[in-house]
Amino acid sequence: MGVALALHHDAAEVRQQLEANGFQIKNQFSVLQDAVSQQLTGMVQGSQHNAEQLRNALNERLAAIQADNATKLEEMRRTVDEKLHATLEQRLGESFKLVSDRLEQVHKGLGEMQTLAGSVGDLKRVMTNVKTRGTWGEMQLGAIIDNVLTPDQFARNVKTVPGSDELVEFAIRLPGKSDEHPVWLPIDSKYPVEQYQRLLDAQDAADKAAIQSAGNAFETSIKLEAKKIFAKYVSPPHTTDFAVLYLPTEGLFAEVMRRPGLVEAVQNECRVMITGPANLAAMLNSLQMGFKTLAIEKRSSEVWSLLGMVKTEFAKFGDVVEATKKSIDAAAKKFDEVGVRTRAIQRKLRDVQELPAPGAAGPLVGGSTPALPGLDPEEDLQ
């Protein structure tokens, strides 16, 4: 019983002690909680203060950066504007100068074109004169022939038809039966510019009826000129059986070639071949090659004849050489005989020891010379 009371008493003390300790711990925890709360509040306030300071510093720094960037951007803008303004002014100045130069050149070209138009008008007025036009075509034809053929291959103002007073402007000298009687190829220049100009004007106006009428008149004029040439200058066998009609401009020749059947009709009906500046030169070059081939053939026959004569003379020369060889062989044989006699004399002279003393020999009889001992002239010289 006493033990139980003692245990009960001790438990009560332990409980009291525990309650006291719990209260003390609770107070300490409250104090600690208040202290931690105060520290946290202070830390929060400090953090807020530091964050505010940092935000203010960042705002000030950003404002300074923005102000600096704005200043630099303004400087860059002014620099770019100045450079763009200067470059634009320079480029515009160069462009305006180039445009001004081009306009000046255009103005100058217009002046030259006006001058050229006036010159063309003068040329047209000159070409309306038939005599002047014919002289110009004749000069051009003569220049082409002079550049291709040699002076002995053509002639000017040739009377190709015997008994006629008509003279063709140029004639090509072709080989005939003899050099005194060649065969002539007549070449005459014509420039029917009136009908051609009417045709060009009709084509510029796009008038089909005028084009048809001017084209027919143009073809008729070409055929008429070809018939005149054939009637005046063609007379075989003194000439070729055809003649050449020369047109001084490529445009006129191209228009003739463009006309369907015109060239064939002129060749078949009038026996006249139409040429322009380019194909006339080609035709003359072909004739020049024919002349060279003919000259080569002629020279080849002369060379064969000369070779025949050389062959005959060479045979005679061989006979002379053979006779000379025989004479040389006979002379060599004679020289061999002289060598034999010379060696025989030398053998006899080796046998002579000494000559007789003066006065030892008897008097000479009849002026004869005493014979050398051991030498018989009649024997050794045989």
Digit-coded pLDDT (tens) for 237-279: 888 888 999 988 888 888 888 888 888 888 888 889 898 888 8
pLDDT at 363: 45
More confident residue, 108 or 176: 108
* Start-to-end CA span in the chain (Å): 210
Q: Provide the H-helix boundaries in the chain.
A: 2-127, 130-148, 193-205, 208-233, 250-258, 262-270, 277-350, 377-380
Question: Which candidate, 230, 216, 234, 235, places its Cα nearest to that of 269?
Answer: 230
Contact 248, 189 (CB under 8 A): yes
Rounded average pLDDT over 157-172: 86
pLDDT at 132: 58
pLDDT at 218: 87
Stretch (H or E) spanning 185: strand 181-189
pLDDT at 23: 80
Q: How confident is the model at residue 135 (pLDDT cuts 50, 70, 90)?
A: confident
On average, the pLDDT of the chain sits at: 77
- pLDDT of residue 120 exceeding 80: no
CA dihedral over 147, 152, 154, 159, signed as positive or negative: positive
How does strand 168-178 pair with strand 154-158? antiparallel
Q: How confident is the model at residue 369 (pLDDT cuts 50, 70, 90)?
A: very low
pLDDT at 293: 67
pLDDT at 282: 83
Whether the pTM exceeds 0.85: the reply is no
Rounded average pLDDT over 222-234: 89
Long-range contacts from 159-163, C-beta under 8 angstroms, 24+ separation: 160/184, 160/186, 160/233, 160/234, 160/235, 160/238, 160/239, 161/232, 161/233, 161/234, 161/235, 161/238, 161/239, 162/235, 162/238
- pLDDT of residue 377 exceeding 70: no
Q: Residues 6 or more apart from 198 whose CB is under 8 A from it?
A: 210, 214, 217, 218
pLDDT at 381: 40
- pLDDT of residue 367 exceeding 50: no
Say whether 356 sits in a helix, a strand or coil: coil
Range of weakest confidence among 66-80, 123-137, 223-237: 123-137
Which residues pair with residue 156 across a beta bridge? 170
**65-105 tens-digit pLDDT:** 988 888 888 888 888 888 888 888 888 888 878 888 888 88
Rounded average pLDDT over 311-317: 68
Rounded average pLDDT over 215-236: 88
Q: How confident is the model at residue 294 (pLDDT cuts 50, 70, 90)?
A: low
More confident residue, 150 or 116: 150
Radius of gyration of the chain measured on its C-alpha atoms: 68
Q: How confident is the model at residue 195 (pLDDT cuts 50, 70, 90)?
A: confident
